[in-house]
């Protein structure tokens, strides 16, 4: 069987072929379908599983396994009853820029759908992070993240009610929370700690985002502080692993003078 000789930046070495040269049948089919995706272009309709199985002289289950991997990688997406070639992943910078700013920079239209805004007594673990006493009221703002009306993530923000007492009446939940803090309240972000991990969505999260529960998600935990170093917000954001990648700029650390 043929396999693509793809050595573009970031491509797997030898296109994922083991050193002994023997590759699983589904992977060879996946490599051939990848070439077809390049020919079809973004939005192109993929042939049916039956047609692909006949074309490559394999079983439909072999084709199905190849397509599953391409879906998980974000090369394909479901549309109605068919499967089409997906566009490039959204690149979100790891910075204090908001989700809105990151999506707009790529020529996409950001949006949000409100799931809920409620206040509740702050539990001890969260209280320590956002700088309030245990039992003091905090806001929980939960929203689905959109890009060109496509559901791509789920965001939960926790912030002190004492600091934002009118959040429920002043803030437009379809807009940028960072812009509200900056433009309406004059609160500027100073720095943040962020951690990223790979998880599977819970059944509820998968339903809200509109993905299969088996789809890997990128989970970001962020704790932000203002310019005076006071805790400002605690954010938990799930991003679809097939639709997002994250970028950052790295520089050489400052040299320390020897004593």
Other C-beta atoms closer than 10 Å to the C-beta of 168 total 14
Q: Which domains does the chain have, with CATH numbers?
A: 13-85 (1.10.10.10), 90-247 (3.40.1410.10)
Alpha carbons 130 and 234: distance in angstroms, whole number: 7
Residue range 199-231, pLDDT digits in tens: 888 889 999 998 887 788 889 999 999 999 999
Q: What is the pLDDT of residues 9-51, one digit of tens each?
A: 555 544 555 555 577 888 888 888 988 988 888 888 999 999 9
pLDDT tens-digit map of 90-131: 777 666 666 777 777 777 888 899 999 999 999 998 998 998
Are 237 and 222 in contact by the 8 Å Cβ rule? The answer is: yes
SS3 163: coil
Query: Other C-beta atoms within 10 Å of 26: how many?
Result: 19
> Count of CB atoms within 10 A of residue 31's CB?
19
Q: Which long-range contacts (CB under 8 A, 24 or more apart) does 52-60 make?
A: 56/29, 56/32, 58/25, 58/26, 58/29
| Sequence-separated (6 or more) residues with CB below 8 Å from residue 91 | 102, 106, 244, 245, 246, 247
The model's pTM = 0.71
């Amino acid at each position: 069987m043929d396999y693509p000789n793809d050595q573009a930046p970031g491509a797997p070495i030898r296109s994922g072929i083991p050193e002994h040269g023997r590759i699983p049948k589904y992977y060879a089919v996946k490599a051939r379908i990848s070439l077809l995706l390049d020919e079809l272009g973004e939005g192109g309709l993929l042939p049916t599983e039956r047609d692909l199985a006949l074309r490559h002289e394999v079983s439909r289950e072999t084709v199905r396994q190849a397509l599953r991997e391409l879906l998980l990688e974000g090369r394909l997406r479901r549309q109605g009853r068919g499967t089409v070639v997906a566009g490039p992943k959204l690149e979100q910078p790891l910075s204090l820029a908001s989700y809105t700013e990151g999506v707009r920079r790529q020529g996409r239209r950001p949006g949000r759908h409100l799931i809920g805004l409620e206040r509740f007594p702050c539990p001890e673990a969260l209280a320590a992070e956002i700088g309030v006493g245990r039992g003091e009221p905090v806001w929980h703002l939960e929203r689905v993240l959109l890009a060109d009306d496509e559901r791509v993530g789920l965001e939960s923000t926790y912030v002190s009610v004492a600091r934002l007492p009118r959040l429920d009446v002043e803030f437009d939940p379809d807009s940028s929370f960072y812009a509200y803090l900056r433009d309406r309240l004059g609160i500027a972000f100073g720095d943040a700690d962020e951690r990223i991990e790979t998880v599977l969505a819970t059944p509820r999260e998968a339903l809200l985002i509109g993905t299969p529960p088996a789809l890997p998600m990128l989970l970001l935990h962020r704790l932000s502080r203002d310019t005076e170093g006071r805790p400002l917000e605690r954010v938990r954001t799930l991003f679809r692993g097939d639709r997002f990648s994250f970028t950052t700029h790295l520089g050489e650390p400052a040299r320390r003078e020897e004593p």
